[in-house]
Amino acid sequence: MTLLTDDPVAAMRDRHREAAAGLPYTRVSGHRIGGVETTATSPVTSPVVDPATGEEWGSVPEADEAVVDAAVAAARAAQPQWAARAPSERADLLRRMADAVERRADVLSITNTLENGSPVSETAGAAANAASILRVFASLASHLEAGDVRAFPTGGAETVVAQDPIGVAALIAPWNFPINLVVIKLAPALVAGCAVVIKPAGPTPLSIRFLLDAADEAGIPPGVINLITGEGATGELLVRHPGIDKVAFTGSTPVGRRIAAACGELLRPVTLELGGKSTALVLPDADLDAMSKVLIRSSMRNTGQTCYISTRLVTTPDRYDELVDMVTATVAAAPVGDPLDPSTVFGPVATFAQRDRVLGYIRAGVAEGARATVGGDVPEPIPGGAFVAPTVFADVTPDMTIAREEIFGPVITLLRADSIDAAVDIANDTPFGLGGIVFGGDEDAAFRIARRMDTGSVGVNMFASNHYAPFGGRHDSGLGVEYGLEGLAAYLTPQSVHRRVR
Q: Are strands 278-282 and 270-273 parallel, antiparallel or unpaired?
A: unpaired
Q: In whole angstroms, what is the distance from residue 302 CA to residue 305 CA?
A: 5
Q: Are strands 278-282 and 310-315 parallel, antiparallel or unpaired?
A: parallel
Strand order in the sheet with 278-282: 371-374, 391-396, 411-416, 310-315, 278-282, 437-439, 459-460
* CB-count burial class (<10 Å; 0-12, 13-18, 19+) for 89: exposed
* CB-count burial class (<10 Å; 0-12, 13-18, 19+) for 142: exposed
The reply to whether 194 belongs to the active site is: no
- Please list, in sequence order, all residues whose beta carbon lies within 8 angstroms of the beta carbon of residue 14, skipping any fewer than 6 positions away: none
Number of neighbours of residue 317 by Cβ within 10 angstroms? 11
Q: In whole angstroms, what is the distance from residue 122 CA to residue 111 CA?
A: 12
Catalytic hit among 62, 122, 194, 307? 307
Tell me how far the alpha carbon of residue 281 is from its chain's centroid: 23
Q: What is the DSSP string of 285-338?
A: T--HHHHHHHHHHHHSTTTT--TT-EEEEEE-HHHHHHHHHHHHHHHHHSPB--
What is the residue type of 448? Answer: R
Residue 76 Cα distances to 134, 158, 236, angstroms: 22, 33, 19
The reply to whether 102 belongs to the active site is: no
Angle at 22 between CA 18 and CA 25, to 5 degrees: 120
The b/e string for 353-387 (b: 16+ C-beta within 10 A; e otherwise) is ebbeebbebbebbbeeebebbbbbeeeebbeebbb
Q: In whole angstroms, what is the distance from residue 350 CA to residue 118 CA?
A: 7
Catalytic hit among 273, 322, 380, 482? 273
- Please list, in sequence order, all residues whose beta carbon lies within 8 angstroms of the beta carbon of residue 305, skipping any fewer than 6 positions away: 118, 176, 349, 350, 354, 408, 409
Residue 422 Cα distances to 64, 232, 394, 417, angstroms: 52, 41, 18, 6
Q: In whole angstroms, what is the distance from residue 270 CA to residue 170 CA?
A: 9
Angle at 373 between CA 367 and CA 375, to 5 degrees: 75
In terms of Cα–Cα distance, which of 409, 72, 406, 395 is closest to 241? 72
In DSSP terms, which residues pair with 249 in a beta bridge? Answer: 172, 272
What is the residue type of 165? Answer: P
Asked if 207 and 118 touch (Cβ cutoff 8 Å), the reply is: no
Residues with active-site annotation = 273, 307
